[in-house]
Amino acid sequence: MTKSYSNDLRQKGIEYLDEGGAGILVSAIGRWHRKYRQEGSYFPKKCGGSEKKIDLEKLEENVQKLGQKK
């Protein structure tokens, strides 16, 4: 996976578009600008996907079942 663009580059691109700049509307800058208008932040999302959630009760039941089979 590629590394995110730096936050200062994101900010400069957003400021450029806010000041009426045109002609360099690269898709990434357009996405940053849209995200900034909607969420008020240009920071990238965290990478790595979502955390796996474990149902501790089911895990405990399965461990007990395995222990009983021996």
Q: What is the mean pLDDT of the chain?
A: 77
> How far is the CA of 50 from the CAs of 45, 46, 56, 57, 58, in angstroms?
11, 9, 18, 21, 20
Classify residue 56: in a domain, yes or no: no
Residue percentage of the chain with pLDDT more than 90: 0
Number of independent structural domains in the chain: 1
Give this prediction's pTM: 0.35
Q: How many residues does the chain have?
A: 70
pLDDT digits (tens, 9 = 90+) for 22-51: 666 667 777 777 888 888 887 777 766 666
Evaluate whether residue 28 is within a structural domain. yes
* Tokens found for residue 16: 């450029």
Of all residues in the chain, the percent with pLDDT exceeding 70 is 80
Question: Is 60 a member of any domain?
Answer: no
Q: Is the pLDDT confidence value at 55 over 70? A: yes
Convert the chain into a string of H (helix), E (strand) and C (coil): CCCCCCHHHHHHHHHHHHCCCCCCCCHHHHHHHHHHHHHCCCCCCCCCCCCCCCCHHHHHHHHHHHHHHC
Q: Does residue 20 lie within any of the structural domains?
A: yes
